[in-house]
Amino acid sequence: MPYVERDDRGAIARLRDQPTATALEFLAPDAAEVLAFVRRAAHATALLESLRGTDADLVRVVEDLVDLLATKGVIRTEELPEAVRRKLEARASLRRQYRDTPLLKFDDDIV
């Protein structure tokens, strides 16, 4: 390890532990080019995890925004696509069930 697969520009696109038809070139694991690729991949993975970590918070923001706009009469929930309505209703139902569960009384903002 590692066998490298290169892109059209000659940069490392993938590392493989075994040679393949597209990854026949072997580089030492401590080669500068390999280390730079691994650092970039780790950084990209960290960014993706950070982005995924905000998904639940953003879902709650969207739900609250839809509720606010509907309450103010800016939108009518009946005008939303059926699939959207079903998803919003399912989340609202789950949140109500969670709030009504006597043994689970936590901060509502996490749901």
Q: What is the pLDDT of residue 107?
A: 59
Residues 74-106 pLDDT 10s: 999 999 999 999 999 999 899 888 888 777 655
The distance from CA 103 to its chain's CA centroid, rounded to whole angstroms, is: 30
The pLDDT value recorded for residue 109 is 53
CA distance 18 to 16: 5
Query: What are 1-19's pLDDT values in tens digits?
Result: 699 999 999 999 999 999 9
Coil, strand or helix at 25 = strand
